[in-house]
């Protein structure tokens, strides 16, 4: 039963993390509205959300860089209680080659959204940020107080700038915001009806692993095994996308219930556990029984050696803790890849 006091707008809601979050919002009784320009996602995800959650979110196919379209949406949807803003470009490598595309899209869409929210008196926003803002911290685990390092990509800059914009706007207007810094989202919903849909050759490790496992990619290249880590490969904090989605529901609840302790709050969303690339490969083979064809290649420029989260703040303040382990991350990612392979969806 939806409670109209809890209507949430999800921008980028047909995307990977967005779609999983819409499912969890519906499960928690929220009414959901999605705004997405489908530049990096597929319309059929709406059908899958309805199949999983039994409710079809209202959908607006709009580009948030078009402020008039954002105003039309807020006029049509008058009682939005909170916005979760996922819509952004997120390919790190592409952002190095095309910085202006990233600055325009990621920053202008946020500015348009905030201007219209301010005009319409919608004062709660949850922002999709990233652990990439930390670069390579001097001390691990990374806490929310860990200083930013100069972003190595335009994508990273847009996340740092996005947080900066929110902090300043939240101190000058009625808008209250929560920035969620994701570590490495992986996995898929247990139904295998939604998951990561990389366009073209995947940049990220997990989809490359599952596509290699299914035979869509010839071989996985591990980018370097000469790092100062136990097995020489990079360490990351992989977090199940469903755990990540549930944290967004908690953040919405915190804002709508006016429980935030300041106008701008930041939370790390990770498991607090670091896992190396080789450990991922070995665990994948064990969990799926699927041999993985891989080789060691040169380091990838811009990669940090090791990054994992201190999650105490989110545990305490959001009442949220990651529950799903590596096995569920890997088995759900594989089940989704198998389902994609069986289906007619070509990505
Ligand atoms: C993980 C590890 C690679 C591919 C980035 C962004 C972050 C977020 C997640 C958007 C690294 C290694 C990878 C491959 C490999 N993006 N790897 N072979 O770089 O930690 O984070 O993606 O929200 O903001 O910074 O994730 O999955 O690309 O890499 O060896 O084919 O896997 O070197 O050590 P990353 P990743």
CB-side exposure of 94: number of CA atoms within 13 Å?
Answer: 13
Helix (H) or strand (E) holding 165: helix 154-172
pTM: 0.96
Give the pair of three-digit tokens for residue 205: 């490790």
Q: Is 90 a pocket residue for ligand 1 (Cβ < 6 Å)? A: yes
- For a substitution probing ligand 1, which of 236, 284, 298, 308 has the most ligand atoms within 8 Å of its CB? 236
Q: Whose CA is closest to atom 17 on ligand 1?
A: 205
How many Å from the N-terminal Cα to the C-terminal Cα in the chain? Answer: 35
At residue 250's C-alpha, the angle toward residues 257 and 43, to 5°, is: 115
Nearest atom in ligand 1 to the alpha carbon of residue 235 is 34
CB-side exposure of 1: number of CA atoms within 13 Å?
Answer: 1
Helix (H) or strand (E) holding 317: none
pLDDT for 58-81, tens place per residue?
999 999 999 999 999 999 998 999
- 295 Cα to the center of ligand 1, angstroms: 16
Hey, where are the domains in the chain? Answer: 3-187+239-271+310-323
CATH H superfamily, domain 3-187+239-271+310-323: NAD(P)-binding Rossmann-like Domain (3.40.50.720)
Determine which one of 16, 60, 134, 155 is catalytic: 155
pLDDT for 297-341, tens place per residue?
999 999 999 999 999 999 999 999 999 999 999 999 999 999 999
The answer to whether 155 is a known catalytic residue is yes
């Amino acid at each position: 039963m939806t409670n109209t006091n809890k209507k949430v707008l999800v921008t980028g809601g047909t995307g990977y993390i967005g779609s999983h979050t819409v499912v969890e919002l519906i499960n928690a009784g929220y009414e959901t509205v999605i705004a997405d320009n489908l530049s990096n996602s597929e319309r059929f995800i709406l059908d899958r959300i309805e199949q999983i959650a039994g409710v079809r979110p209202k959908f607006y196919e709009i580009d948030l860089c078009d402020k008039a379209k954002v105003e039309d949406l807020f006029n049509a949807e008058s009682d939005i209680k909170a916005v979760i803003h996922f819509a952004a470009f997120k390919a790190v490598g592409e952002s190095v080659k095309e910085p202006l595309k990233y600055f325009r899209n990621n920053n202008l869409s946020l500015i348009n959204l905030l201007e219209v929210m301010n005009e319409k008196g919608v004062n709660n926003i949850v922002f999709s940020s990233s652990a990439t803002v930390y670069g390579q911290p001097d001390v691990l685990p990374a806490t929310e107080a860990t200083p930013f390092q100069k972003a190595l990509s335009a994508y990273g800059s847009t996340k740092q700038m996005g947080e900066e914009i929110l902090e300043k706007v939240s101190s000058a207007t009625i808008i209250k915001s929560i920035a969620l810094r994701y570590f490495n989202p992986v996995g898929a919903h247990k139904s295998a009806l939604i998951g990561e849909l990389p366009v073209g050759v995947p940049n990220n490790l997990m989809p490359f692993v599952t596509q290699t496992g299914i035979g869509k990619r010839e071989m996985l290249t591990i980018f370097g095994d000469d790092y100062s880590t136990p097995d020489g490969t990079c360490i990351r904090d992989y977090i199940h996308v469903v755990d990540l989605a549930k944290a967004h529901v908690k953040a919405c609840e915190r804002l709508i219930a006016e429980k935030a302790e300041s106008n701008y709050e930041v939370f790390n969303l990770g498991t607090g556990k670091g896992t190396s690339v080789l450990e991922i490969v070995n665990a994948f083979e064990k969990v799926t029984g699927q041999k993985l064809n891989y080789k060691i290649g040169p380091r990838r420029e811009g990669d940090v050696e090791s990054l994992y989260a201190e999650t105490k703040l989110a545990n305490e303040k959001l009442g949220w803790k990651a529950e799903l382990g590596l096995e569920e991350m890997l088995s759900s990612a594989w089940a989704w890849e198998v389902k994609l392979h069986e289906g007619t969806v070509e990505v």
